[in-house]
Amino acid sequence: MNRNKHPPNSENHPLIHMNPHDLVPFLEIKLYVDNQTPDIESFHTAPRLFATHMPYHSLPESIHKTRACKIVYLCRNPKDVLVSIWHFTNRLRSQGMGTNSLAHVFDQFRNGVSLFGPIWDHVLEYWNQSKEDADKIFFLKFEDLKRDPGFYLRRLAEFLECPFSAEEEGIGMVEQISQVCTFESLSGLEINQNGKLSSGEENKAFFRRGEVGDWKNYLTDEMVHKLDEIIEKKFGGSELVF
C-alpha cells in the first residue's frame, strides 16, 4: 500500500531499519494498552495499517460495520502454530522462570488456553466471515503464501484496492516486494538480529525458521493424532483444510 512512497528496492526502505511490529502497530498491544486512547487521526496518513490478534467478535462494532475498513487474516496449520508458540514463549521467558515443556504447552493448546482464545474458534470465525463477505475479509493461509507469494501478493493488492499496474508488473514490482519481505531477507537484517522493539522485546524472538511442516520434527505420534481429531471435529464441514 506504500510502495509508491517506499519503493521496495530503496536502500532506505523502512523494513531495513525497523521491525514490522513497529511499522504496523498492534491495536491491543501498543495503541490501546493500559487504557491509552491514541489519536488515530494523527497516526500516519490514511489509509492506515494496524495489526491485531483479537478474535473477530472482540473487534469494535465500528470495524464490523464500516465498508472502509478491510481485514486481512493470516493463519497457519495449527500444528505449526503450536510449535511456534512453544519456541516463542520460551524465548520471552526470563532465565529464572525456566522453560515450558512441549507437553505442557501442548495440553494448554489443545484445551484452548491461549492469550486470544482457542485457535480453533479464532480461525473458524474469521473463515466463516470471509465466506460471507469476501470484499471485507481476505482469508490467507501461511502455507499458500509460502507456496506462491507472487500470486497471493497480487490478490492482496486487488483486495486492498491498489492493484499492480502493467507498468509495475513490467519492472518486476511484485517480485521486488516479495523479495524484501521474505523470511530470509528480514531475519538477516541487523535490526532484526540485534535490535529491540520499542516495547523492549528482542526482534530476533520473532524469527525462527518460517517453514511449513516443522511440527514433524517435534510432535509425537500421539500429539499428532489428538490434534488431528480436534481439527476434524472443529473444521469438518467448513471446507477449511490445512
Residue 73 lies in a domain: yes
Residue 142 has pLDDT above 80, yes or no: yes
Residue 216 has pLDDT above 80, yes or no: yes
C-alpha distances out from residue 56 to 28, 60, 85, 109, 216, Å: 13, 9, 21, 19, 30
Residue 6 lies in a domain: no
Residue 66 has pLDDT above 90, yes or no: no
CA dist., res. 109 & res. 104, Å (int): 9
Catalytic residues: 53
pLDDT tens for 156-179 read 999 999 999 999 999 999 999 999
Q: Which range marks the domain in which residue 124 is found?
A: 14-235
Residue 5 lies in a domain: no
Mean pLDDT over 21-27 rounds to 89
Residue 4 lies in a domain: no
The domain tally of the chain equals: 1
pLDDT tens for 101-126 read 999 999 999 999 988 999 999 999 99
- What's the CATH number where 125 sits? 3.40.50.300
Residue 160 lies in a domain: yes
Query: Do residues 233 and 239 touch, judged by C-beta distance below 8 A?
Result: no
pLDDT in the model for residue 238: 93
Query: Do residues 223 and 108 touch, judged by C-beta distance below 8 A?
Result: no
Residue 169 lies in a domain: yes
pLDDT in the model for residue 45: 75
DSSP structure class, residue 73: E
